[in-house]
Amino acid sequence: MKKLLKYFSDYKKEVVLGPAFKLLEALFELFVPFVVAYIIDIAIKHSDKKSAVILSVALALLGIIGFVFSVTAQYFAAKASVGFASKLRSALFSHIQKFSFEQLDRLGTPTLLTRMTSDVNQIQTGVNLSLRLLLRSPFVVFGAAIMALVISPRISLIFLGVIVALSIVVFGIMLVTMPMHKSVQSKLDGLTLASKENLVGVRVIRAFCKEKSERDDFDLMNEAFVSAQKRMAGVSSLTGPITQVIVNLGVILLVHKGAISVNVGLLTQGSLIALYNYMSQILVELVKLANLIVTISKSLACASRISSVLDISPENTHGDETLSCDGASVSFENVSFKYEGASEYSISNVSFNAEAGQTVGILGGTGDGKSTLVNLIPRFYNATDGRILINGIDVQALSPESLRDSVGFVFQRATLFSGTVRDNLTLGNPNATEEDLLDALKLAQAYDFITEKGGLDAVVEQEGRNFSGGQKQRLTIARALAKKPKILIFDDSSSALDYLTESKLRKALSSLPYSATRFIVSQRASSVMTADLIVVLEDGEVVGCGNHTELMKSCDAYREIYESQFGKEESK
């Protein structure tokens, strides 16, 4: 939690004033039993109406002033907790945006979602209650004990015993529930993952009639989550009853000893009632404190989870050089890469050189490392061995911002965001003119269907579900083209297109109005056969490198792929 305190920097005043006003409210509250004792021992006992009125007015004023201070404290506590949570959530989101793909793979989307939502909300609740009660409750408890000591030193020993016993119970339960809450939150991560996978893959689940098995799996995870919550709630729920028992035993002992003292004249009736009121105050505040401790234990567990994410240093923060020239040559020098936890390399000893403005085809079967290779160029992943040079500069020396600003990437899965077509196309280039956007749509063969749907201001629903797979792919291609980058990477981004549309797209990309080095990843020989350089991968290794004519003569793997798609006769 200490690492998160810096997010209170803009709310120092509220952090101080919230508890301060709560302490003032508590101070006035401690005087109430004293005033009640005076009313009984002086005003009522001696039938003094004037004193009774004055003391009653004083009692009302104490209540009104305490209420004003309480509302003020609530305001400052709410402002500080909400502001703190807002800054923490923004910092966490910003930090996660800097993670490499490898770090995101390791942490997992469900875990990060839980930490940005549920965990931050729990911390906000903990901060709010802490600012209001963390000082107030102990202040009232010890204040009531001191006031009891002033009234009767001998009977005040009962208060001391009650406070010690309750402190042991409260803090003991807190130590037990903290690790239990961490377990609950971990199981919540699993539920979030299951929910996400089911919602994203609902069509697949229904297509294979797996609804029942998925429900059964979810029920098992849900039952485990509920069981963990019940265990934690069972331990936490002991706080109230044990607190009530201890305090009520204290009340019984207080009334017994107090009655004896009143009978022998060592204590007045008003003082006994005041002592009883102070014991009641202790009961109320310790119940609040017990609930606060449970909330704080949950918040500390959540704070630990969030701190563990903030402690992870983004892997792509080093490098400060920039790409300044127009073209971009790309060289791979003995590049190898292995995913974290994997036993084998995904690509091994890859070497080739792409001149600025060339079209490079990356061809291979499923799992041969094509996507892995192109993901290394913008440093979504860092090469395990070897190096990648752009214009002679190692990508490790380039700033991530400069590098990725020079790359237009079209991923295998076409991802669109809710909004408009214009909003999606300007993601890479916010300053793009309408003419730039329309040109990008034309190059991507998307102009016709976008015009039919309403042009650049046509609505894009969540994940682009109002577009077909091929339309989404063409829109993501147009988004990359609107950026006018030095390097264009198409990672199997035409798989949903028919051959005619793909042919038109290849022709358009070969005559771009600006210079760009193009990487085309595909399993189709037709998609790369016109490329200036074709790199053929097999099991992560380069087995062929050259143009179509050269590879047909020298590379068996390329020829086999080509003939499987076009037939032997056409290959002659």
Residue type, 527: S
- Look at the block and give the residue holding tokens 């440093």: 379
User: What is residue 572's predicted lDDT score, i.e. its pLDDT?
Assistant: 47
What's the CATH code of the domain at 511? Answer: 3.40.50.300
Same domain (yes/no): 287, 428: no
C-alpha count within 13 angstroms, C-beta hemisphere, residue 268: 14
Listed ranges 27-36, 228-237, 382-391, 559-568; the one with the highest mean pLDDT: 382-391
* Domain annotation covers residue 134: yes
Q: What is the pLDDT of residues 461-518, one digit of tens each?
A: 988 888 988 899 999 999 999 988 899 999 988 877 888 888 888 888 888 888 889 9
Cα three-residue angle 323-326-330, rounded to 5 degrees: 65
Residues in the chain: 572
55 — pLDDT class (breaks 50, 70, 90):
confident
350 — pLDDT class (breaks 50, 70, 90):
very high
Average pLDDT over residues 538-542: 91
Same domain (yes/no): 399, 430: no
Selection from 300, 353, 314, 330 nearest residue 546 by Cα: 353
Same domain (yes/no): 358, 500: yes
In whole angstroms, what is the distance from residue 425 CA to residue 239 CA? Answer: 57
Number of domains in the chain: 3
Q: Which of 429, 460, 481 is the last residue of a domain?
A: 481
Examine the pLDDT at 6 and tell me if it is beyond 90.
no
* Domain annotation covers residue 106: yes
Same domain (yes/no): 304, 441: no
Same domain (yes/no): 397, 447: no
User: DSSP 3-state assignment of 503?
Assistant: helix
In whole angstroms, what is the distance from residue 92 CA to residue 114 CA? Answer: 12
569 — pLDDT class (breaks 50, 70, 90):
very low
In whole angstroms, what is the distance from residue 517 CA to residue 507 CA? Answer: 15
Our CA dihedral for 349, 350, 355, 357, rounded to 10 degrees, sits at: -150
Average pLDDT over residues 228-246: 81
For residue 458, what are its two tokens? 């046509």
For residue 438, what are its two tokens? 């329309």
Phi-psi domain of 458 (left: phi exceeds 0; alpha: psi -120 through 50; beta: other): beta
In whole angstroms, what is the distance from residue 265 CA to residue 443 CA? Answer: 101
Same domain (yes/no): 490, 475: no
User: DSSP 3-state assignment of 437?
Assistant: helix
Same domain (yes/no): 71, 177: yes
334 — pLDDT class (breaks 50, 70, 90):
very high
Q: Which residue has the higher pLDDT, 350 or 241?
A: 350
In whole angstroms, what is the distance from residue 87 CA to residue 84 CA? Answer: 5
Same domain (yes/no): 59, 105: yes
Average pLDDT over residues 252-257: 82
Q: Which of 459, 481, 503 is the last residue of a domain?
A: 481
| Inter-residue contact 208 to 325 (CB < 8 Å) | no
Q: What is the DSSP string of 527-546?
A: HHTTSSEEEEEETTEEEEEE
Main-chain dihedrals φ then ψ at residue 520, nearest 5 degrees: -115, 115
* Domain annotation covers residue 325: no
User: What is residue 568's predicted lDDT score, i.e. its pLDDT?
Assistant: 65
Same domain (yes/no): 242, 369: no
| Inter-residue contact 410 to 493 (CB < 8 Å) | yes
Average pLDDT over residues 411-434: 89
Domain containing residue 460: 421-481
- Look at the block and give the residue holding tokens 């959540």: 302
Share above pLDDT 70 across residues of the chain, in percent, rounded to a whole number: 97
* Domain annotation covers residue 211: no
Q: What is the CA radius of gyration of the chain?
A: 35
Q: Which residue has the higher pLDDT, 420 or 258?
A: 420
* Domain annotation covers residue 153: yes
| Inter-residue contact 481 to 516 (CB < 8 Å) | no
User: What is residue 243's predicted lDDT score, i.e. its pLDDT?
Assistant: 78
Same domain (yes/no): 258, 394: no
| Inter-residue contact 328 to 486 (CB < 8 Å) | yes
Q: Which of 466, 481, 496 is the last residue of a domain?
A: 481
Examine the pLDDT at 319 and tell me if it is beyond 80.
no
User: What is residue 325's predicted lDDT score, i.e. its pLDDT?
Assistant: 65
Q: What is the DSSP string of 445-496?
A: T-HHHHHHHTGGG-EE-GGGTTS-HHHHHHHHHHHHHHT--SEEEEESTTTT
User: What is residue 386's predicted lDDT score, i.e. its pLDDT?
Assistant: 93
* Domain annotation covers residue 159: yes
Same domain (yes/no): 32, 109: yes
| Inter-residue contact 85 to 302 (CB < 8 Å) | no
Examine the pLDDT at 47 and tell me if it is beyond 90.
no
For residue 362, what are the β-bridge partners? 521, 535
User: What is residue 46's predicted lDDT score, i.e. its pLDDT?
Assistant: 66
Mean of the per-residue pLDDT values for the chain? 85
* Domain annotation covers residue 10: yes
User: What is residue 86's predicted lDDT score, i.e. its pLDDT?
Assistant: 93
441 — pLDDT class (breaks 50, 70, 90):
very high
What's the CATH code of the domain at 102? Answer: 1.20.1560.10
Cα distances from 556 to residues 345, 550, 569, in angstroms, run 23, 11, 16
CB atoms within 10 A of CB 79: 18
Same domain (yes/no): 22, 130: yes
Average pLDDT over residues 414-442: 90
Q: Which residue has the higher pLDDT, 102 or 347?
A: 347
* Domain annotation covers residue 213: no
